[in-house]
Amino acid sequence: MGSFMLSRLANCLYWMARYVERAENVARFIDVNTWLSLDLPGGYQEQWSPLISTTGDETLFAEHYERASKRNVIHFLTFDTRNPNSILSSIAAARENARIARQYITLETWEQINRFYFATQAGAQSAASGFEPSQDFFSEVINASHLFLGTLYATMSHNEGWHFSRLGRLIERADKTSRILDTKYYLLLPSLDAIGTPYDDIMWAAVLRSTSAFEMYRKRYQQISPDRIVEFLVLDLEFPRAIHRCVVSAEASLHIISGTPMGTFGNPAEQQLGRLCAEMNYVQVREIISGGLHEFLDDIQIRLNLTGEAIHNAFFALQPVPAMAQNPGGRQA
């Protein structure tokens, strides 16, 4: 698959899937805090500001809201069109990308993204009438995302365009899994005294549930253990939301698109992703913990951002036409 499809279409398919994944993960962020609210013992206060820190939109939030109350945070992350990363904004952007790439995706995929879009719009209209979104709404967002991805997988040829959409989804998923884990470890912990307490176990269980990892983790390890949870969500090669699994699969799609053999690189994106995969192949969880989990996750997020920029430059950015190609018969100056 060496010849590249039009960069504009590839860009749309990449971002269509990435925006759907983003909306799903924002719903997961809110879901984890809702779980915590239900499970918290008496005396502990709900924390909502860490969710804004997780998405990196603190400055934008502060421009429009006075305090990080539950109502303000949920509205900002769910329906606020001034927030480009809200669920509503993400689904609108995903639909617009799908519309531009309509000739490349299937009817079933287009219909599913439309259903997702109108369901989110209906939720926004209810919120405008004073109804707060329920936990069921966020479960529906997650389910709609799963339906979209299932339709994409089952009805679209697994060709170059499909691999671009898969690449976008996996880069976004790896980034968001790291942020969910970072939120627990770095921001939600009220004090060092809480480590190892039942409250700490409740929060770790909420992190597992927010990544749909609770059941798979319990089948393997049974007991809640922070080190094993970190290992499961960062280094596991079988669990589909684990960071390592995401970057390995993203690397495979990237090489299928470019035609470059695995183990080599033909552009900076493959170099970035290949280096990250190689390091994750050999790092152990005790090394991650001893070096600082937050620092490790922060580094992962920076490198995924750099990979995203490199993908853009390699495949989507308009390249200047070489002078010789403009005038094949002319002489170089």
Measured from the Cβ of residue 43, the count of other Cβ atoms closer than 10 Å reads 6
pLDDT at 18: 97
| Residue 102: per-residue pLDDT | 94
Q: Which residues contact 297 (CB under 8 A, 6 or more apart)?
A: 178, 179, 181, 182, 185
pLDDT in tens, the chain (333 residues): 445 568 889 999 999 999 999 999 999 888 877 777 776 666 566 678 878 877 888 899 999 999 988 899 999 999 999 999 999 999 999 999 999 999 999 999 999 999 999 999 999 998 888 787 888 899 999 999 999 999 999 999 999 999 999 999 999 999 999 988 887 765 555 555 566 666 778 888 888 888 889 999 999 998 888 899 999 999 999 999 999 999 999 999 999 999 999 989 999 999 999 999 999 999 999 999 898 888 999 999 999 999 999 999 999 986 554 444 333 333 332
Alpha-carbon distance 244 to 252, whole Å?
A: 12
Distances, alpha carbon 333 to alpha carbons 323, 324, 327, 330, in Å: 9, 10, 12, 9
Q: Which of 109, 112, 41, 53 is nearest to 85 (CA)?
A: 53
Rounded to two decimals, the pTM is 0.88
pLDDT for the residue numbered 194: 60
The closest of 199, 192, 229, 193 to 211, measured between CA atoms, is: 229
What DSSP letter does each residue of 34-74 carry, written as one string? HHHHHHPPTTPPP--HHHHHHHT-HHHHHHH-SS--HHHHH
Residue with tokens 């170099």: 271
118-to-19, 77, 167, 281 alpha-carbon distances in Å: 16, 18, 26, 42
